[in-house]
Structure 1
């Protein structure tokens, strides 16, 4: 049903489930982000977004780690490919390449359907870029996080410095980004980077899958879009946006089904999106 990817794998939780897993799939390199990833990741998200069977996407990693950061071979290739005798053209090409990489991460926010990060093992550098763009974040207690870029003599440029302060606060984001220190899943919860921690990978997978099940598709995509849009709006503008949104989708079969299910004390059954 889904396309085949070099750097990713897509799995459906079960045949009748609307929960789909999108796994970084380069376990021999700690799921480091290859050049293929930055092309395939937005394509995979778009495929799941269009798939009526998919309601929620859980982003996880194959093997022992979530993501060990951008592959150093990718960084080296980027450096070599953008060099030319003309400094102006080198800089312009490098800027285009950075924007290309950024779009792969921003695709998470552009996906209509919720994307939940389930982190185990290492979540380093580019892994932080990815999870800060996700709608919800969970991890194991012993997961390891680091905003690693300053240790590589670069400024994080795929979204961490823009998104992390809104999640953990400006002061915490500054300290994490300037020190590149490693911190655990337990501290990530204290900082607010993750909402909840689980004892191990198996408990994480089970808990996150349960969280992801059975909400109104229209309500879920509406809530995600309104929250993301409201970050850049005043209160009055945000209220006007949600009024316009709900005037278009509030009177739906999902609303009728939700009210009926509550009245009959049963689990609601929503149509595919």
Structure 2
């Protein structure tokens, strides 16, 4: 399927569409796709756009160059406008709100109304681990590796890695990575369940990620949304609470029409047709 470009104004990313699949690509390979304030602003804006529009039925996030991302751009810490002010309690207290502002972007990715698939090649370092930990599905190249880099530069990882990784892989592995700053090679990441599959080349990796996204996009978007809601809720709650939530969720989104269309399409050997999610509008936006 031919991709259509949709991001002429982006500098750090390229956004293309493959039918109902959105493909967001980190696009600063000369900078190892490091994360800086403009990266954050563009990522947050694109995610909000995709979430509100309801047109994308799956999102693939990939990268360019040798590494997926080398994490936070170190020069950002030298910027007087960003660097935490650690000489006063007032300055240190302000860091909490700065982190909350940054965390909001990764939280937004996790809460998107469509599944997110990350295609990871080369190094996934520091803040990049925070990013991919929010995804639903992760694929990687065989030369990929994951590194909680923050401990190697004298700080604690603070953008979600220490909170999300223990939900994905054994705590002992997380602690080893977090305490030592060692790299977790792709083969071990696969063995521990951090990634779903490995591929020999970035091209094969992206092809697999897009194929999975298209398979998801063929399902009813509201049922995919409901499934994502149920899985994320179950991750953080007891089985009893999650089953109760499942009853409320299913009663809210059940559709005889969708079930009938899926069955009829299979009988007629054709692709089923399902409506997209409804677009969202901020309450404060003018109507």
Aligned to 1:37: 39
The gaps in structure 1 that reach 5 residues or longer are none
How much does 1:48 deviate? 1.1
Give the SS at the match of 1:139: strand
How much does 1:78 deviate? 6.5
Which of 244, 262, 270 aligns to 2:248? It is 244
How much does 1:241 deviate? 0.8
Task: Answer yes or no: is 1:10 the counterpart of 2:11.
Answer: no
**Root-mean-square deviation over aligned CA pairs:** 1.8
CA contact (8 A) 1:7 1:34 kept: no
Give the SS at the match of 1:108: helix
Give the SS at the match of 1:117: strand
1:37-186 equivalent positions in 2, closer than 5 A: 37-77=39-79, 81-83=83-85, 87-186=88-187
CA contact (8 A) 1:2 1:47 kept: no
Q: Distance in 1 between matches of 2:272 and 2:172?
A: 43
Aligned to 2:274: 270
Q: Structure 1 residues 190, 84: CA separation in 2 closer, same or farther (over 3 Å shift)?
A: closer
Q: Distance in 1 between matches of 2:68 and 2:155?
A: 22
Runs of 4+ in 1 over 6 A off after TM superposition: none
Q: Distance in 2 between matches of 1:7 and 1:168?
A: 30
Q: Distance in 1 between matches of 2:220 and 2:80?
A: 43
Q: Distance in 1 between matches of 2:80 and 2:165?
A: 25
How much does 1:220 deviate? 0.9
Give the SS at the match of 2:68: coil
Aligned to 2:207: 206
CA contact (8 A) 1:20 1:54 kept: yes
Q: Distance in 2 between matches of 1:65 and 1:100?
A: 26
Q: Distance in 2 between matches of 1:82 and 1:157?
A: 13
Give the SS at the match of 1:168: coil
Q: Structure 1 residues 222, 3: CA separation in 2 closer, same or farther (over 3 Å shift)?
A: farther
The gaps in structure 2 that reach 5 residues or longer are 1-5, 278-287
How much does 1:115 deviate? 0.9
Q: Distance in 2 between matches of 1:128 and 1:267?
A: 36
Which segment drifts farther, 227-236 or 242-251? 227-236
Q: Alignment length, in residue pairs?
A: 269
Q: Distance in 1 between matches of 2:86 and 2:156?
A: 22
How much does 1:227 deviate? 1.1
TM-score, normalised on structure 1?
Answer: 0.92
**Alignment deviations for residues 187-209 of structure 1 (CA, whole Å, 9 cap, x no partner):** 21012110111111111111111
Q: Distance in 1 between matches of 2:250 and 2:41?
A: 34
**Alignment deviations for residues 174-199 of structure 1 (CA, whole Å, 9 cap, x no partner):** 11111111232222101211011111
